Amino acid sequence: MSTSNLIDARGPRFAAGFTTSVLSIAFLTQSLWLLLVQTFVFAVGAKFGPSRTPYGFFFRKFIKPRLTPASRFEDIKPTQFAQSVGLAFGVLALAGDLLGIQGLYVLALAGALAAAFLNVAFDYCLGCETYLLFKRLQHRSERPKALTSELASE
């Protein structure tokens, strides 16, 4: 894995704090605009990586220089996948609001908020863990195929 695929592990947790704040206010005020802004941030993170979001920029420019050098790095792919999951929840919440389906709006927004809160409060990235689970399941399903093709060639 190249170092360009590694990010300071403190960045996503910092961003989760912003996300939790924005989604909490959006939830309490039912602000479609805040939800739209956060969904846009998720889209940027999903497409270009979490360091390219406004929260990532803020962390890199203003917070990280004041911290001790990073001692823990993580692969960008799980975090980027988590941004995609956040994007899906944001889009569902927006759709629920625009279509007048209050239950969809509340469930999708609450799901995104819960995931962000887990990250900031407990350093547990639900989207990242889901990504890793999918990768393990994919690896398991590929292993028998490789073994079967090896046996067939003997």
Q: What rounded mean pLDDT belongs to the chain?
A: 93
- Find residue 74's DSSP bridge partners: 7
Question: Which has more confidence, 153 or 107?
Answer: 107
Q: How far apart are CA 125 and CA 58, in angstroms?
A: 20
For the purposes of burial, counting CB atoms within 10 Å of the CB of 15, is it exposed (0-12), middle (13-18) or buried (19 or more)?
Answer: buried
Q: What is the pLDDT of residue 4?
A: 76
Q: How far apart are CA 119 and CA 128, in angstroms?
A: 10
Using alpha carbons only, what angle is made at residue 63 by residues 61 and 64, rounded to the nearest 5 degrees?
A: 80
Asked whether the predicted pLDDT for residue 1 surpasses 80, the reply is: no
Q: What is the pLDDT of residue 150?
A: 55
Question: Which has more confidence, 117 or 148?
Answer: 117
pLDDT digits (tens, 9 = 90+) for 16-54: 999 999 999 999 999 999 999 999 999 999 999 999 999
pLDDT digits (tens, 9 = 90+) for 72-129: 999 999 999 999 999 999 999 999 999 999 999 999 999 999 999 999 999 999 999 9
**In the block, which residue shows the tokens 């360091």?**
51
Q: What is the pLDDT of residue 74?
A: 94
